Chains A and B, each alone.
Chain A
């Protein structure tokens, strides 16, 4: 069962790089914001999978919740920055 989570994590780790490509070369800023938000969500799931691999899910849930929260606030700030051209 531990191998299953390991391969799942490696698969998500590969997908992060595809999102990173969209974040670096993506046409327009909106694509970049969406890519960064998707990377944050993938990182959250990878953290939980790491918790399953190390049998310490209770520790990693705390970190992943903080990650989700900061990702949410960051996305709102970036979207609001874009909405009116340079003003948060």
Chain B
């Protein structure tokens, strides 16, 4: 189980550096079609910021920021954005994830519709990857048993 570190330097550095990591992750996601990066890479950086918080501030504080339930909801929500945009293209009468046809819906030219469509898909992928990264780390660091479940198991045995 992840415990709280008692080193003030590590905690302070992590607290200061976390917003900058998240801003950088958003930059990587939003700027993904002009520079290296994209949804997956930005999501990994966003997940790394939460993992840094979990390592330095312990399980209890991290669960207030991002619980297991929230991580599951976020991963499903990201997948919903991705597949929703794909299905919207299918409904509009073109292929799956062929954003050109979204131009009638967004009232822009097809080239701009493609740019906006890939941006939406990348945001969805970023959210899903962030939540799944955190969820995997959460499960590994707790060994799959969160403290509340442990107490329930103990009382159940009695």
Q: Would B55 and A73 count as touching, CB distance under 8 A? A: yes
Q: Would B48 and A69 count as touching, CB distance under 8 A? A: yes
Q: How far is the CB of A3 from chain B (nearest CB, A)?
A: 26
* B141 touches which of A62, A76, A88 (Cβ 8 Å): A88
Segment from B33-41, B79-87, B100-108, B114-122 that makes contact with A? B33-41
Q: Would B41 and A66 count as touching, CB distance under 8 A? A: yes
Chain A CB within 8 A of B51 CB: yes
Chain B CB within 8 A of A14 CB: no
* B1 touches which of A66, A80, A87 (Cβ 8 Å): A87
Q: Would A59 and B51 count as touching, CB distance under 8 A? A: no
Q: How many residues on chain B are close to A (CB under 8 Å)? A: 20
**Closest A residue, CB atoms, query B56:** A76
* A59 touches which of B2, B35, B41, B55 (Cβ 8 Å): B35
Chain B CB within 8 A of A18 CB: no
Main SS of chain B's interface residues? helix
Q: Report Cα–Cα, A83/B51, bound state, in Å.
A: 18
Chain A CB within 8 A of B66 CB: no
Q: Would A62 and B28 count as touching, CB distance under 8 A? A: yes
Q: How far is the CB of A65 from chain B (nearest CB, A)?
A: 7
Q: Which of B44-100 contact A (CB under 8 A)?
A: 45, 48, 51-52, 55-56
Q: Which of A12-70 contact B (CB under 8 A)?
A: 58-59, 62-63, 65-66, 69-70
Annotate A68-88 by CB proximity to B: 1 below 8 A, 0 otherwise: 011001001100100110011
Supposing A69-B48, A88-B141 touch, asked if A76 and B10 sit within 8 A by C-beta, the answer is: yes
Q: How far is the CB of B155 from chain A (nearest CB, A)?
A: 25
Q: Report Cα–Cα, A80/B35, bound state, in Å.
A: 34
Q: Report Cα–Cα, A58/B41, bound state, in Å.
A: 17
7 intermolecular pairs with C-beta atoms under 8 Å apart: A58-B35, A62-B28, A66-B45, A76-B10, A76-B55, A87-B2, A88-B55
Task: Give 5 closest A-B pairs by Cβ, nearest first.
Answer: A73-B52, A88-B2, A88-B141, A62-B36, A62-B35
